Amino acid sequence: MSVLARSVGNAFRNKVRSAAVVAVLAVAIGLALAMLVANQAVGAKVQELNASVGTVLTVNPAGGQGFEGGGEPLTPAQAARAAGVPNVTAVVGTKALRLRNATEAAAQTAAGQTGGPGGGFGGPGGQSATLTTSLTVAVDAGTLGNRNQETGTTGATGTTQPVRSLPLTATGIGAEVDSTGKALELTEGTGLGDYTVSSTKALLGTTLAEKNNLAVGSTFTINSTTFTVVGLFDAGTAFGNNALYVTLPAAQALAELPDELSTMIVTVNSMENVDAAKSALQEALGSDKADVTQGQRNLETAVSSLDSVKNISFVAFVAALGTAGLIILLIMVMLVRERRREIGVLKAIGARNRTIGLQFVLEALVLVALGSAVGAAIASFASGGIASALVSSNTSTTAVAGRGAGVPGGTGFPGGGAGLPGGGPLGGASQLLTSVTASASPGVIAAGIAAVFGVAIIGALVPALLTARIRPIEVLRGE
C-alpha cells in the first residue's frame, strides 16, 4: 500500500474523532480566512481613500464658502493657471445652483414673501435671478431646515411666514466626477457625454428621482428649460442624493454667468506632492482671490483608525492561524503516541523515518484540506459581517471628519455641503469609510489556505520527528 493511500486511510480510522477534528479546524481556519479577507478589504479601502480623497484639493473664492461669504467668483482663467501648477493632474470647475419648486416659489411671490437665510431666491455668486424647477425636494426640512430658513416667524407685515421646503442643490460640473475627484457612481443610465458643452441632459440622485417618479428618459424643467434624465447616481447620503448634475456650461447658462465658477476640484498626482501643490496653487491664484483647502487633513484621523482595524484583523488572522497549527500539533502528537507499536513494526521491517514522517504529515494535510473546505465556506458567509463589525468602531471618527467639512476652511454649504452631491471635501469618503465591502475572492482564499497548509506542515513535522526517537526493539520488548 502506498504512503498516500495509507495516510488517507489513517485519517478516517476513527471517524468520530476525525469529524470532531475537522469541525474544530474548520472554525479556526474559517476565522483565519475571514480575518484575512477583512484585512484585504480594509487595506484596499484605505488605498482607495488615499488615492481618491487624499490627493484632492478644493479651491473656493477667497472669503466665500458655498452660498455664504463674499469675495470674487472664480474664473476659467484661474482654472487654466491652476492646471499649470506642477504635480496637478486635473482641474474640474463647478457651478453650484439653488433651485426652488416653481409652484412653491410662485405662491410665495404672490404672497409678497422673500426667501430667508438658506432659502432665498438669490443664487450663488451674486446671481439675482430666481431659479425654479418642476422637481420636488426629496428631503424634509425638519427642525434644522426650518431653523436655518427662519420659517414660521413673523415678518415686517405682521404675517407668519409658512414653512418652506428645502432648496434643491444643482451642480454644473466639467467632468464625470464627484466632490472627491473620482468617477460618479451611476446606478442607471449613462453620463452626460461631453461635459464641456451646454446640453439639456441631467443626472439625478436616486432619492430625488424616486420622490418625483422619474426614471432614465424622464424630463423636468429648470426655469423654462426642459432637461432629460440620462442617468441616476448614488452619493451615499440623503443630502447627496437630493441633488442633480448638469454640465458646467448648462449651469452657467442657467445662472446667466458664463464665466464664473463656484469651486474648482484639483487632483494632485500623489499624496506626497499634495502639500507642495497646495502652496503652489495658493501662490498662483493669490490668497486674496482664492482659498485652497485640503480634504486630506480631515481624512487622516479616519484613515489612521482604519489602519488600526487593518492591524487588528491581521493579528486576529495570525492568532487563528496559530490556533489551527496548535490543534494539528496536539492531534498529531496524540496519534504518534497511540501508534507507537505500529511505528515500531514499520521500522523493524525496514521503513525509514522519512517515510513514516511523511505518512503523518500527509494524514494531517488530509484533515486540514477538509477543514479548509468547510472553513472557506464559513469565511465566504462571515467575512462581510466581520469586516462591518470591525469598521463600525470608526463611525464616530468618520462623523467628526464629516463635520469638519462645515467649519471655516471647509468647502461646503451651511451644514457641510460642498456644492456637489456627496457633501464636504470628503465627499463620498465618509460613506466609503463605513461601507467596506469584504468579498471572499478566490485569490485571497487561496493565499489563506496556502498559509494554513504551511502551518499544518510545520505542526505535523514536530510529531513526525518524534518517530525517529522510537526504537523498534524498545517497542517490541514492551509488547
Residue pair 425/413 in contact (Cβ under 8 Å)? The answer is no
* Nearest by Cα to 410 from 305, 263, 261, 281: 263
pLDDT tens for the chain, residues 1 to 479: 576 776 677 667 778 888 888 888 888 888 888 888 888 877 777 776 666 556 788 898 988 765 666 678 899 999 999 999 999 998 999 998 888 888 887 777 776 655 444 333 344 444 434 689 999 988 876 666 565 555 444 444 455 555 566 778 888 898 888 766 677 889 999 999 999 899 999 999 999 999 999 999 999 999 989 999 999 998 878 888 888 999 999 999 999 888 899 899 998 887 778 889 999 999 999 988 999 887 555 556 666 767 777 888 888 888 988 888 888 888 888 887 777 777 777 777 777 777 777 877 888 888 888 888 888 888 888 777 777 777 665 544 444 444 443 333 333 333 334 444 444 433 444 444 555 666 667 788 888 888 888 888 887 777 767 766 666 666 555 55
**How far is residue 202 from each of residues 116, 193, 219, 244, measured CA to CA in Å?**
28, 10, 9, 7
Report CA-CA distances (Å) from 93 to 42, 64, 167, 307: 32, 16, 22, 33
For the whole model, what pTM was predicted?
0.57
Amino acid occupying residue 449: I
d(CA 234, CA 186): 6
pLDDT of residue 398: 45
End-to-end CA distance of the chain: 25
* Amino acid 412: pLDDT: 39
Q: Kindly state the DSSP code that residue 323 receives in the 8-state scheme.
A: H
Any idea how long the chain is? 479
- Name every residue whose Cβ is closer than 8 Å to that of residue 286 and which is 6 or more positions away in sequence: 62
φ, ψ (nearest 5 deg) of residue 168: -100, 135
Q: How far is residue 177 from each of residues 138, 185, 315, 320, 442, measured CA to CA in Å?
A: 22, 9, 37, 41, 31
Q: How far apart are CA 388 and CA 385, in angstroms?
A: 5
Q: Tell me which amino acid residue 55 is.
A: T
Distance, CA of 359 to CA of 351 (rounded, Å): 11
Return the SS3 of 214: coil
Asked if residues 295 and 429 have their Cβ atoms less than 8 Å apart, the reply is yes
Instruction: Determine the 3-state secondary structure of 165 from DSSP.
Output: coil
Q: Return phi, psi of residue 376, to 5°.
A: -65, -40
**Phi, psi for 244 (deg, rounded to 5):** -145, 155
Q: Which stretch of DSSP H or E encloses residue 129? A: none
